[in-house]
Structures are given as C-alpha cells and as structure tokens.
Structure 1
Amino acid sequence: MSDWIGPTFFSVAILSFLVTLIQSVLRPSIKSLQSKVDLVGESLRTLCDGLMTDLASKLAISHKDDSRASLYVHDGNSHFVLIGRYSPNPVLRKPGRPFYPDDQGCIAKGWQQGWSFENTLGNGANYTRNTEARYGIPTADIVRFAMKSKLLGAHRVDSNGEPIAVVLVESMRQDRFDEQALEAALSQFSTDYAPMLKAFRAYAPTPSIAKASGL
C-alpha cells in the first residue's frame, strides 16, 4: 500500500464499505432496498471524500486555499458523476450539478486526452468567452458556477487500459500549481487507486439517482 493514505483510515473505510454491502445482501427486503442502496452510495462517497482530502494534503492545499480536488466516475454512457471532493472552503466543497456531460469542460479534455491543463482563461467576459469556446460549456451554465476556476488540471484514471474516472484539481489562482508537478501527482494517484475505483464503480449513483439524492 502506498503512503498516499494512512493505513488506519483506509482499513476503516474499506471495512465500513464491506459491512454495508454485506448487510444489503443479508437483508434484501424490497421495502428497505432503496435505503440500503443509499447507504452503499454514502459509504462510497465517504471513502472517496477521504481520498480527495488525502490528495489535497499531498498538494499542500491549506485552510486558506481556494482550491479543491474532485473525483468523477464515468457512468459507462455519456456522463460523469461526482463521487469525491475536498476543499478547505466549505462553499467550494459543495456538490454542484448532479452529473456532468462527458463532452464538456476540462473533465472531458482529461477524459479524451489522458491529461488536460488550463490556466489562461482570463477574467470577466473573457473568462466566459474562453470557457465556452474551449470547453463547450453554455454561458448559462458558466454564470452559475460556484467556482470560476482560473487553473484546472484533469487526469484520467485507467485500470488495465480501461478508462474509468477523472481526478480534477482546481484553483482560483492561475499560478497555484506547476503543471508538471500537478500532472505527476495526479498520475501517481491514478496508478495507486485505479483498481479500487474500478471495483467500486458499479456502486456509484447513476445520473438519475444522483439528482434524486442531491449529489
């Protein structure tokens, strides 16, 4: 096990996740099925939030830092679902849209190319124009962004050649991270956790479930 996450946290998170799965199998009444599915999703989210907290620590994201780390799993169709996030800023930590199209944004670039880095979007109207032109995001969606990031780095997570997720780091400062150092850190994260994410991907909420549960 790499030193990307403490063994105690990892063991407790995995144990909690497995206990939830076992309980859902042992007591499969139709009446309680939805609540058990929700518990599995909550356990997955807790685990992945912990992974993002650990990643943020490795990137030296401090308590006054307007940056965040997010993990998006692909649903196998045409969307990403947010399954983990950390930011020291509670406003930036909140989930936004319940799902994200896989043909928009820096997430899509990272998904298609393996790595995408951006820190030249500009300010004000230039920011909106550049974001729409480069990433295909409608202006109506851009103006609703809680975080209008000035720097974005997105790395695809592959498991044995199969793309399964994207890890994204954002900052309100365009000079917050060095591109090469950030790419190396996210590449290491992807290598360390791709097998685990592949195994757990089936328990991520679909876009419809994510919307209903407020993710």
Structure 2
Amino acid sequence: MSTDIFFFIGYFIIILILYSLKWTKDFANKNSNELIGVTSAYFYLLADIKNDNDNKIFFDYTWKDINTPLVYLGIILALIYLYINYINKDKFINDESLIQENTQLKENFKVSQKEFYKLCSDIIKGCFGEFYESSNGNGRISIYKYDNNSFTLLGRYCSNPLYNSEGRPHYPENEGIIAIGWQNGTASIHNIPKYTNKGREWKKRMKEICNISDNSLDKIKMKSQSFHVQRINNEDSRNPLGIIVAEKLSSEIINEELITLPLKLHNEIIASLIKSMKTITK
C-alpha cells in the first residue's frame, strides 16, 4: 500500500478529530454541511492534481484508475451540499434581512424613546400641578438622569408650547446652573435680567452665576430669569439618580415648596422612573 493512501486517511482523521474533541465538536456539528462542501472540493482537487499520476494507492489502483470515481464522488457531495442548503435556506440570514431587521429595531427604539419621554412629561405635569398654576404659563420643569458624567433629558413640561420642546438632550455635569444644584444638592436663583438687546445683561449675569459658555447660552431656547434646582438622591451610597430643574421667565423667586413637597410625595415614582429607564438615551 502506497503512502498516497494518506491523502484520504489523513483527511478523514482530521474530520474525526473535529467531531471527537469537545472544543471542536460543537463547531463541526454546526458546520457539518460546510464540511461536506469542503470534502467535495477536496476530491475535485485530488482528481485534478493527481490526474496523470501512476502511483498505486490501494489494491493496485492508481490515481488514474480512481480519477473518474473521484470526480463523480465530488459531484455527488456537491449536490448533497446544495440540497441541504436549499432545504435550510429559510434558516439563513442574508445581508438584506439583517439591514432590514437593524432598521426596524432602530425605528422601534426611537418609538420607545418618544413614548418614554411623553410618559415622563405626563408624570411631571401631574405631580407639579400647583407650580404650573402659580406660574401663569411661564414655568417649566425638566427631569434629567445622571449617566456617564452628563445629564440626559428624560422629560419636561411647560404649559407654553413654545418652551415645551425637548431641546438639548445632554448637558455636561460641570456647566450651568444645573451643575450648581448637582454639586450642592439644591440651588435657587432669581432676579436674572430679562433677555433683551441680544441678551447682553442676561448672558453677563448667567456667566457670573455659573460656569457656562456663550455658545451654550445661545442654545438655550427658554431664557429664564429664575431657577430652582433639586438633586434626586439615590437610596444608598451610589451617585445620585438625577436632577429636577424648575424655571420661570419671570424674575421672582420660585416657591421651593411647590417643587420639594411634590418631589418628596412622589419620590418613589420619579426614582423608579429614572432607574427603570437607564437604557433609554438620546
């Protein structure tokens, strides 16, 4: 028996090893049809490179003798490979279906974001009704969650539609009046000049109060004159959950009780809202 027999024995030993070892068995089982395709290609390769070889392989058969059977065996295995692929084609995921699935998931996520934002905004409207009654349409409350060294807007409500839009989705933890409230637990600021003459005095006062750039001030749509910021603490030693920002276009001081009392009364609801929606980001 010629050593050429090992072209067959060696190959099948490799296949047996793949199905025998525990760390390759799962791979072999999941890719058994691909192994049939590889075997078909291997037989074609042998038939091609050994076509004119007179070496004996087994029982006086040479490569020339088994060339045609090798080709037919390769064809049979190729047909088996194609048939298995055909009957399992519904299980395969192509690039187009992956793209469609990814697009649908993104759309579903956007819908979830909008629904959650509305839910949070509805809760704000319901919990702080007295604040809105006393604000004569110029008051707004926003709730932010704290995550990755920044604040993400979860929801807000203002009876004036002009200031009820989402605005900036993220705010840095070290900028603006929101940063003062975050660091100190609470902050109440009022008597800020009205925004007139391109906001020179308003901007000047805001920059005196807190660390904030002209670029950030320009992005603020509601040029408020009074603020009350309250941190929403965690129940343990972890970072606080988030922060609530009440603001008004008028310069008189905001009645803190209209914020602190509802926040205390509905603390569990607001805290649970923030905790349960940590994965909802803009």
TM-score using structure 2 length: 0.56
Match of 2:104 among 13, 29, 32: 32
Structure 2 vs 1, CA of residues 40 and 92 (structure 1 numbering), >3 Å: closer, same or farther?
A: same
Is residue 70 from structure 1 mapped to residue 142 from structure 2 by the alignment?
yes
Which runs of 5 or more structure 1 residues have no equivalent in the other structure? 1-28, 211-215
Offset at 1:199? 1.9
Shift of the 131–107 alpha-carbon distance from structure 1 to 2, 3 Å rule, reads same
| 1:72–1:81 Cα contact (<8 Å) kept | yes
Q: Give the letter aligned to residue 147 of structure 1.
A: M
Structure-2 residue corresponding to 1:106? 177
Confirm whether residue 135 of structure 1 aligns to residue 214 of structure 2. no
1:151-204 deviation line (CA, Å, top 9, x unaligned): 1111111231341111111001122622355333434443542133212222x2
CA contact (8 A) 1:55 1:69 kept: no
Structure 1 stretch displaced more, 141-150 or 175-184: 175-184
Match of 2:129 in 1: 57
Contact 2:188–2:254 under 8 Å retained in 1? no
For 1:43, the aligned partner's letter is E
Q: How many residues align?
A: 177
RMSD: 2.4
Separation (CA, whole Å) in 2 of partners of 1:138 and 1:189: 34
Identity across matched positions, percent: 22
TM-aligned CA deviation for residue 52 of structure 1 = 1.5
Alignment of 1:1-215 (within 5 A): 29-61=101-133, 64-74=136-146, 76-123=147-194, 124-161=199-236, 162=238, 163-175=240-252, 177-202=254-279, 204-205=280-281, 210=282
Kindly name which structure, 1 or 2, has the bigger radius of gyration based on alpha carbons: 2
Unaligned runs of 5+ in 2: 1-100
Q: Greater relative contact order: 1 or 2 (C-alpha under 8 angstroms, separation 6 or more)?
A: 1
Distance 1:60 1:46 in 2: 18
Cα distance change of structure 1 residues 175 and 82 upon mapping to structure 2, 3 Å threshold? same
* Larger proportion of helix: 2
1:62 deviation in Å? 6.4
SS of 2:233 mapped into structure 1 = strand
- Give the letter for the 2:129 counterpart: S
Residues 84 and 181 of structure 1: CA distance in aligned 2, closer, same or farther (over 3 Å):
closer
Partner secondary structure for residue 151 of structure 2: strand
